[in-house]
Amino acid sequence: MTTPTLDQLDWKKGDGLLPAVVQDADTLQVLMLGYMNAEALRQTLATKRVTFFSRSKNRLWTKGETSGHFLDLVDAAADCDNDAILIKARPHGPTCHRGTTSCFGDRGASGVGFLAHLDQVVAGRLAGGDEKSYTVRLAREGVNRVAQKVGEEGVETALAAATGTNEQLAGEAADLLYHLIVLLQVKKLNLGEALSVLEARHRK
């Protein structure tokens, strides 16, 4: 994504306001739709906290200024007509005033985006240290034990592919992905860092 310049955007088309779609930078889930004027975008880029122009309050409004559920800016881009803005952000808590993850419902990230959500859940479990959590108990056995589990799950996945049903293969693959995420987190890495390597290889 290339951050748009203020002069690049077609502010006249929307009488000084442009729609701004906010997307979770990690899960890619659409979180909300707001409107920005030039000053709101300028403040967003300067402070790295997503700020809109509130049509009901008739003023600039930083998301989270009351609730504390800020949106930390990661990137911004204009669409092909320069009359809409895509914001990628990391949310602090629920985005919607109703307490849901997204203003478009609380189904949560799905598809490939769910892996990024699972990565966040695992990180939260490890930070919380709840001994009732299998994730925490496994991590406390040490990196070698977690690595061993990844190896075991890899073998079971291969065996399911060779001799099992597709349903069994899907189940074993799910176990492998989960344990791989735990291993990355134990090593102070996250799934995004592994994906960045894949993206770099793909671009070559």
What pLDDT digit, counting tens, does each position of 53-107 carry?
A: 999 999 999 999 999 999 999 999 999 999 999 999 999 999 999 999 999 988 8
Separation CA 145–CA 4 (nearest Å): 47
Q: So where are the chain's domains?
A: 6-91, 113-203
Q: Which CATH architecture fits 6-91?
A: Roll (3.10)
Q: How far apart are CA 43 and CA 100, in angstroms?
A: 26
Fold of 113-203: Helix Hairpins (1.10.287)
The predicted model scores a pTM of: 0.81
